[in-house]
Amino acid sequence: MKECLSSKVLPKPEKQKSGADRPENWQVTEKQKKQIEELQKRNFKLQQAYQWGGEPERKHTKNIFNDEVLICDLLCFHHPLVLEALKKKIKAYMEYEGIAGIAFDAIGYQNYYDCKCPASLKLYKEYCEKNKLKPTPKAWKEFSFKTLIDFNNALVDYVHQLNPQAKTFNHIWPVYLPEPLYGNRLKMDFCGQTAAWYFYWDPLRIEQYSRKISVSQKKYWPNANGVAFIGYFDPMKHDMQFPYKSPAKVESELRAILKGGSRMLMVCGLADVLNNQDIAAVFKKFMKVNNKKDLKQ
Ligand SMILES: [Zn+2]
């Protein structure tokens, strides 16, 4: 994850009338604003040669550029060998003594919507035949979403098949743009969903995301727990690819998460938090003392 730019969109440039429309704790300085503009320009350059979802190079953007782009390659989970290879890995990890569970990340579509590689197209053809569906944009969309959920759930089932007591974790990333907060549809015991990203999000949006994560956490699976994810990177340690977040900014984001109702937190990168005394102190304010009983739930 560290090598990649974020999969979420940057805030759109604000309409400059006065400061009145801006949330009071937005806290973005002029210097930070310039940095965001630079990041956006860099993303435009990256996208020109970027292959999104199996389609031929330079055929994806149709003159539309996103504010952000995923620049690392992902395996296509539609290929049967991917699940097979992951199961082998999971089995090997689960054989270690004392392993309590497995945490996943980076399961999704490189273009945030779908994949058009030969393995995906083959699976889609089979899907339509099996369900007696005519290939339509609607069927394609449903296929893309359903297979994303099913793949995640197949991983959970496999972990529980090896050890029913083992816990499964996931962080929803890259984003699935048609439904960014789909994590409650997964059987994961603890599903991290982005409430606050590495870039500046409006605290009201953070609060709303946190509320959705918490309110819908058991909508589909009674054992699932929704976890609010917050991104924090020290830009100095990541080639200045991420904007600087002050302790006050981090505090306003954690407060918005708390206000939204989420009571569990996932953070990346933890080392950057721990290596910055001021940021670590802010996180500490919001954490309760570790209680082993809670982990056994
Ligand atoms: Zn594919």
The Å distance, Cα 75 to ligand 1 centre, comes to 8
Cα(14) to ligand 1 centroid in Å equals: 36
Identify the domain containing residue 201 by its residue range: 181-297
Write the CB contacts of 148 (distance below 8 Å, at least 6 apart in sequence).
77, 107, 108, 109, 176, 182
Q: Is residue 188 part of a domain?
A: yes
Token representation of residue 34: 């310039």
Based on the domain organization, do 4 and 127 belong to the same domain? yes
Mean pLDDT per 10-residue segment, the chain (297 residues): 35 40 55 70 56 45 53 85 96 96 93 87 97 96 98 98 97 88 96 90 90 96 96 85 88 97 96 97 90 56
Show the beta-strand stretches assigned E in 2-145: 101-104
Helix, strand, or coil here: 237? helix
31 occurs within a structural domain: no
- pLDDT of the residue at 28: 65
The rounded Å distance from CA 145 to ligand 1 centre is 13
Shared domain check, 203 and 86: no
Check whether residue 68 and residue 119 sit in a common domain.
yes
Distance 72 CA to ligand 1 centre (A): 15
CA of 219 to the centre of ligand 1 (A): 29
Please give the radius of gyration of the chain, using alpha carbons only, rounded to the nearest integer.
20
Q: Is residue 229 classed as helix, strand or coil in its secondary structure? A: strand
Residues 5 and 126 in one domain: yes
Residue 188 burial (C-beta neighbours within 10 Å; 0-12, 13-18, 19+): buried
Please give the distance, rounded to the nearest whole angstrom, from the Cα atom of residue 55 to the centre of ligand 1: 10
User: Do residue 158 and residue 209 come from a single domain?
Assistant: no
Q: Is residue 124 part of a domain?
A: yes
How far, in Å, from the CA of 150 to the mean position of ligand 1?
15
pLDDT of residue 291: 64
Query: Ligand 1 centre from 144 Cα, in Å?
Result: 10
CA of 117 to the centre of ligand 1 (A): 4
Residue 81 CA to ligand 1 center (angstroms) comes to 12
Residue 28 lies in a domain: no
For ligand 1, the distance from its centroid to the CA atom of residue 93, given in whole angstroms, is 26
Give the E-state strand segments of the chain in sequence order.
101-104, 167-171, 190-196, 225-231, 265-268
So what's the pLDDT on residue 294? Answer: 54
> What is the secondary structure of 68-89 as a DSSP string?
----S----TTSHHHHHHHHHH
Number of domains in the chain: 2
Task: Confirm whether pTM is higher than 0.85.
Answer: no
> How far away, in angstroms, is 191 Cα from ligand 1 center?
24
Residues 124 and 213 in one domain: no
CA 283 / ligand 1 centre spacing (Å): 39
282 and 205 fall within a common domain: yes
Q: What is the pLDDT of residue 6?
A: 37
In a domain, 24, yes or no: no
Does residue 25 fall inside a structural domain?
A: no
Q: Residues near 210 by Cβ (< 8 Å), separated by ≥ 6?
A: 195, 228, 256, 257, 258, 259, 260, 261, 262
271 and 223 in a single domain? The answer is yes
